[in-house]
Chain A
Amino acid sequence: MSDGILFQAFVYLCAAVVCVPIAKKAGLGAVLGYLVAGVLIGPHVIGLVGTEGHDVMHFAEFGVVMMLFLVGLELQPQLLWKLRRPIVGLGGAQVVVTSALLTGAGMALGFDWRVALAAGMILSMSSTAIVLSTLAERSLLKTGGGQASFSVLLFQDIAVIPILAVFPLLGVAEVVGGGSEHAAAAGDERPAWMTALLVLGAVAGVVAAGRFVVRPAFQFLAAVRLRESFIAAALLLVVAIALLMQEVGLSPALGTFVAGVVLAESEYRHELESDVEPFKGLLLGLFFISVGAQIDFPLIGDEPLTIAGLVVGTMVLKLGVLLALGRFFELDRPARWLLAMSLAEVGEFAFVLISFGVQNHIYGTSVASPLVAAVAISMLLTPFLFVVLERWVLPAVTRDSADARPHDHIEHADTPVVIAGYGRFGQVVGRLLRSIGIQCTVLDLDPEMVDVIGRLGFKVYYGDASRPDLLHAAGCGRARLLVVAVDDPEQAISIVKTVREHFPKLKIFARARDRIQYYELKRHDVAFVHRETFASAYEMGIEALRALGYRGHTANRLARRWRAHEERELDEIAAMWARDEERTTIFARVRRAFQEAERLMRDEDPQVFVDRDAAWDNEALRVDRRPDDDATVPPP
Chain B
Amino acid sequence: MLFAHPVLERSRVNRKLMEGVRELEGVTVHDLYEVYPTFGIDVAREQALCVEHDVLVFQHPFYWYSAPALIKEWLDLVLEHGWAYGKGGDALRGKLMFNAVTTGGGDDAYHRGGYNRFTMRELLAPFDQTAYLCGLRYLAPFVVHGALRLAGEATAPAVAAYRGLIEAIREERLDLDRAQAAASLAEVET
> Which A residues fall within an 8 A CB radius of B?
551-556, 606, 610, 613, 615-616, 618-619, 621-622, 625, 629-635
Contact = CB atoms under 8 A, between A and B. Distances in A.
Contacts of B106: 630
B148 A625 contact: yes
Contact of A635 (B34, B38, B64, B103): B64
B124 interface: no
Contacts of B10: 610, 616, 618-619
Contact of B148 (A613, A615, A622, A635): A622
B64 A551 contact: no
Nearest to B103: A632
B132 interface: no
A622 B12 CA distance: 13
Nearest to A635: B63
A606 B7 CA distance: 12
Given A610-B7, A621-B148, A630-B108, A556 B37 contact: yes
22 contacts: A551-B9, A552-B35, A553-B37, A556-B37, A556-B38, A606-B9, A610-B9, A610-B10, A613-B7, A616-B7, A616-B10, A618-B148, A621-B148, A630-B115, A632-B104, A632-B105, A633-B61, A633-B62, A633-B63, A633-B104, A634-B63, A635-B64
A551 B33 CA distance: 8
Contacts of A619: 10
A617 to B, nearest CB: 8
A556 B36 CA distance: 10
Interface string B25-66: 000000001111110000000000000000000000111110
A630 B148 contact: no
A409 B158 CA distance: 73
B8 interface: yes
Nearest to B146: A630
Given A552-B36, A618-B10, A635-B63, 17 more contacts: A551-B8, A553-B7, A553-B33, A553-B37, A554-B37, A556-B38, A610-B9, A613-B7, A616-B10, A630-B105, A630-B115, A631-B104, A632-B63, A632-B104, A632-B116, A633-B63, A633-B104
B103 to A, nearest CB: 5
Nearest to A619: B10
Contacts of B103: 632-633
Contacts of A633: 61-63, 103-105, 147-148
Interface string B122-157: 000000000000000000000000011000000000
Interface residues of B, number: 27
B105 A551 contact: no
By Cβ-Cβ distance, the 5 closest A-B pairs, closest first, are: A633-B104, A552-B37, A630-B109, A630-B105, A553-B37
Interface of B: 6-10, 33-38, 61-65, 103-106, 108-109, 114-116, 147-148
A566 B62 CA distance: 34
Contact of A554 (B9, B63, B105, B116): B9
B148 to A, nearest CB: 5
A618 B149 CA distance: 11
A632 B115 CA distance: 9
A619 B62 CA distance: 16
Nearest to B64: A634
B58 to A, nearest CB: 16
Given A615-B7, A632-B64, A553 B34 contact: yes
Given A615-B6, A618-B148, A631 B64 contact: no
Given A555-B37, A622-B148, A631 B115 contact: yes
A111 to B, nearest CB: 82
A552 B34 contact: yes
Nearest to B106: A630
* Residue of A610, A613, A632, A635 with highest tally of chain B CB at under 10 A: A632
Contacts of A618: 10, 104, 148
A618 B12 CA distance: 10
A41 to B, nearest CB: 72
Contacts of A625: 148
B34 A630 contact: no
Contacts of B65: 632
Contacts of A635: 63-64
Contacts of B147: 633
A585 B115 CA distance: 57
A225 B108 CA distance: 82
A622 B147 CA distance: 10
A631 B6 contact: no
Task: Name, among A555, A630, A633, A635, the residue most crowded by chain B CB atoms within 10 Å (CB to CB).
Answer: A630
Given A630-B109, A631-B104, A632-B103, A551 B7 contact: yes
B6 A616 contact: yes
B4 to A, nearest CB: 10
Given A618-B10, A622-B148, A630-B105, A551 B62 contact: no
A213 to B, nearest CB: 51
Nearest to B33: A553
A616 B64 CA distance: 11
A166 B2 CA distance: 89
A632 B62 contact: yes
A553 B37 CA distance: 4
B101 to A, nearest CB: 10
A612 to B, nearest CB: 12
A235 to B, nearest CB: 55
A631 B61 contact: no
B25 to A, nearest CB: 26
Nearest to B147: A633
A622 to B, nearest CB: 5
Contacts of A632: 62-65, 103-105, 109, 116
Contacts of B148: 618, 621-622, 625, 633
A553 B10 CA distance: 13
A372 to B, nearest CB: 76
B70 to A, nearest CB: 8
A631 B148 CA distance: 11
Contact of B6 (A553, A555, A629): A553
A631 B34 contact: no
B152 to A, nearest CB: 14
Contacts of B6: 553, 615-616
Nearest to B34: A552
Contacts of A554: 7, 9, 37
A556 B7 CA distance: 12
B116 A630 contact: yes
Contacts of A631: 104-105, 109, 115-116
A552 B5 CA distance: 11
Contacts of A610: 7, 9-10
A343 B63 CA distance: 77
B149 to A, nearest CB: 8
A519 B5 CA distance: 41
Q: Which of B35, B36, B115 has its CB near the most chain A CB atoms (within 10 A)?
A: B115
Contacts of B116: 630-632
Contacts of B8: 551
Nearest to A630: B109
Contacts of A622: 148
Contacts of B9: 551, 554, 606, 610
A629 B35 CA distance: 35
B78 to A, nearest CB: 18
A387 B87 CA distance: 66
B35 A621 contact: no
